[in-house]
Amino acid sequence: MIKVGIPRALLYYQYYPMWKTFFEELGAEVVVSSPTTQTMLSSGSSRVVADTCLPVKIFLGHVLSLVEKCDYIFIPAIRSVKRKAYNCSKFLGLPDMTKAVIPESPPILDIEIDVNKGKRHLYQAIYKLGQRFTWNPFRVKQASIAAWQAHLKYRQLMSSQGLTPPQAIAKMTGEVEPKTPTSTQATIALIGHPYILYDEHISHRLIHRLEQAHYKVLTPEMLTTEELESATATLVGKAHWTYEDEVVGAGGYYLESGADGVIGVMTFGCGPDSLMMDTVHRWASRLRITPFMSLTLEEHTAEAGVVTRLEAFLDMIHRRKRRRVEVCV
Ligand code: SF4
């Protein structure tokens, strides 16, 4: 059986159930890299210039960890999934960059996704990818339909049941779901890209820390597409970046929806995020309803620094809540 490797990084958290279903329907076995480790980060960093963003370095580390384990590696070039909104340049050139810096990689299965080029272009790209496994266009079509159904189910699990991507993936693949402690303290919304929030190595286990301390954690995936798009429209009118909703939309929504605090998480060296996070920051200052903190993480960020900032932010939220109770009394 042909083995297709999928790096557990970047768009894995958005699309894994869809990709897995597509390849399995075509008779392939899917191999996913292990969760990020420092060794992966160091190996990925060694292949690119220092100012490459942290998530891309980590992605390359995941590709390196799959080199001996699969026949192909799946790396799509996702340019756009929305009309007139484009992705960060790193995503556009991901297959080519990987080929250039990891020449020992197994052959790369790349596909260009750009909805601005029309449906015909999209269908042709999917069929071309499917042809690596079968010449029967009907089988490719069936696999695409099953993959899309899996994606819709995945999104629905997250927005209607309040699951994070790792929890929804565990539920769909039959793995044991991590138990979430019952929340008692306050509600904290985290905004940012899934490949930052759910990669425990990059985020220094932010979600886990909050949940263990009995905070209820909300993330962008727990909102519906309509809620995200409407909040993005309120803040910036029209989204210009493909994944703007998970930062600007989620930030705008949670700042007004009763969360006790909002934390924006981004990585150093990211142009799009610095603009989007600044938009949310300005909106928070204008509304003055919900405290907002932004955390910029990088390769050398010390865990102690993250914990100190988190504790200070949570203390401030508790003081604020106590003051409100005293005023009401
Ligand atoms: S959006 Fe930012 S963090 Fe994400 S790949 Fe692009 S530069 Fe890197």
Q: In this predicted structure, what is the pLDDT of residue 86?
A: 86
Report which ligand 1 atom has the smallest distance to the Cα of 193: 4
pTM over 0.75, yes/no: yes
For residue 202, is pLDDT > 60?
yes
Cα-to-centroid distance, 128 and ligand 1 (Å): 27
CB of residue 88 inside a 6 A radius of ligand 1: yes
For the chain, what percent of residues have pLDDT higher than 70?
96
10 Å CB burial of residue 37 (0-12, 13-18, 19+) is: middle
CB of residue 11 inside a 6 A radius of ligand 1: no
Q: In this predicted structure, what is the pLDDT of residue 181?
A: 64
Cα-to-centroid distance, 56 and ligand 1 (Å): 7
**Considering only CA atoms, which residue is closest to atom 8 of ligand 1?**
53
CB of residue 192 inside a 6 A radius of ligand 1: no
Hey, which of 79, 88, 199, 274 would you mutate to test ligand 1's pocket, going by the most ligand atoms within 8 Å of its Cβ?
88
Q: What is the CA radius of gyration of the chain?
A: 20
Handedness of CA 203, 294, 296, 235 (dihedral sign): positive
For residue 24, is pLDDT > 70?
yes
Q: In this predicted structure, what is the pLDDT of residue 174?
A: 82
pLDDT tens readout for residues 74-92: 999 998 888 888 888 888 8
**Considering only CA atoms, which residue is closest to atom 1 of ligand 1?**
88
Hey, which of 273, 275, 295, 297 would you mutate to test ligand 1's pocket, going by the most ligand atoms within 8 Å of its Cβ?
273
Q: Which pair of structure tokens corresponds to residue 315?
A: 């203390």
DSSP class of residue 107 equals: P
Banded pLDDT at 179 (limits 50, 70, 90) = low
Cα(31)–Cα(69) distance, rounded to whole angstroms? 8
Banded pLDDT at 177 (limits 50, 70, 90) = low
Strands in the chain per DSSP E:
3-6, 29-32, 72-74, 77-80, 108-109, 112-114, 187-191, 216-218, 261-267, 292-297
Phi/psi-derived region of residue 10, left when phi > 0, alpha when psi is between -120 and 50, beta in every other case: left
Report which ligand 1 atom has the smallest distance to the Cα of 196: 3
Q: In this predicted structure, what is the pLDDT of residue 178?
A: 61
Cα-to-centroid distance, 301 and ligand 1 (Å): 17
**Among 96-110, 135-149, 153-167, 312-326, whose mean pLDDT is lowest?**
312-326
Hey, which of 267, 294, 296 would you mutate to test ligand 1's pocket, going by the most ligand atoms within 8 Å of its Cβ?
267
Q: In this predicted structure, what is the pLDDT of residue 61?
A: 97
Q: In this predicted structure, what is the pLDDT of residue 183?
A: 62
Report which ligand 1 atom has the smallest distance to the Cα of 88: 6
CB of residue 246 inside a 6 A radius of ligand 1: no
pLDDT tens readout for residues 233-291: 999 888 888 888 899 999 999 999 879 999 999 998 888 899 999 999 999 999 998 99
